[in-house]
Amino acid sequence: VQLQASGGGLVQAGGSLRLSCAASGGTLNHMGWFRQAPGKEREFVSIIRWSGGSTYYADSVKGRFTISGDNTKTTVYLRMSGLKLEDTAVYYCAAANRFRPILSSIRSMSSYDVWGQGTQVTVSS
């Protein structure tokens, strides 16, 4: 399975961006995003569970970011609004193919076995 992320860029604080991640080569049960800011560890952003459509967000993005997917369950989007300087990071698409994330670990990197290349999001003042 491969993931292809796109949509990053430079945006002013308060602006919006939409990230996309397209999957190919397999069936996925969860898809979403993590991010890594310079000098920091990679952190959870948002995940969608295809079965049932449940969505999960980090507290830091809740109310500003919206995750969604297409009806083929192979592409996930992250609509980011009200962007802040601290949202600057490389955003990584993640997915579960062989793994089956459980609720208690859904925000953990170790729950996902497929990773895409990162896309840079830079928020300027």
pLDDT at 15 (0 to 100): 98
pLDDT in tens, 44-82: 999 999 999 999 999 999 999 999 999 899 999 999 999
Quote the mean pLDDT of the chain: 96
Question: Which residues partner with 23 through β-bridges?
Answer: 3
pLDDT at residue number 53? 92
- Spatial separation of the C-alpha atoms in residues 63 and 118, rounded to whole Å: 23
- Of the candidates 97, 88, 95, 75, the one whose C-alpha atom is nearest the C-alpha of residue 119 is 88
- In 3D, which of 63, 90, 83, 95 has the Cα closest to residue 123? 83
Coil, strand or helix: which one is 44?
strand
Is the pLDDT score of 96 beyond 90? Answer: yes
Structural contact between residues 46 and 58, judged by C-beta atoms closer than 8 angstroms: yes
